[in-house]
Amino acid sequence: MQSNKLTIHHLYADMANMYGDRRNVISLKKRCEWRGIGVDVGDVNIGEFIR
């Protein structure tokens, strides 16, 4: 059985949180958890490479 899993990359978390971006990420994570979807959240800052 394949499980559902979502990865959320929060871009420039240390620089762009003035408009409530962190709350949006938390809200998405919580909504997924309520529906039984696994979630990983990772902050991505300038100069980092996502694999």
Asked, for residue 51, whether it belongs to a domain, the answer is no
CA distance 35 to 3: 12
Q: How many domains does the chain have?
A: 1
> What angle (nearest 5°) sits at the alpha carbon of residue 39, between those of residues 3 and 46?
135
In the chain, % of residues over pLDDT 90: 35
CA distance 5 to 20: 24
Asked, for residue 20, whether it belongs to a domain, the answer is yes
CA distance 11 to 23: 13
Task: Identify the band that residue 40 occupies on the pLDDT scale cut at 50, 70 and 90.
Answer: very high
Averaged pLDDT, 19-43: 89
Asked, for residue 50, whether it belongs to a domain, the answer is no
Asked, for residue 49, whether it belongs to a domain, the answer is no
Asked, for residue 34, whether it belongs to a domain, the answer is yes
Pairing of strands 5-11, 38-44: parallel
Domain that holds residue 39: 5-44
Does residue 2 have a pLDDT over 60? no
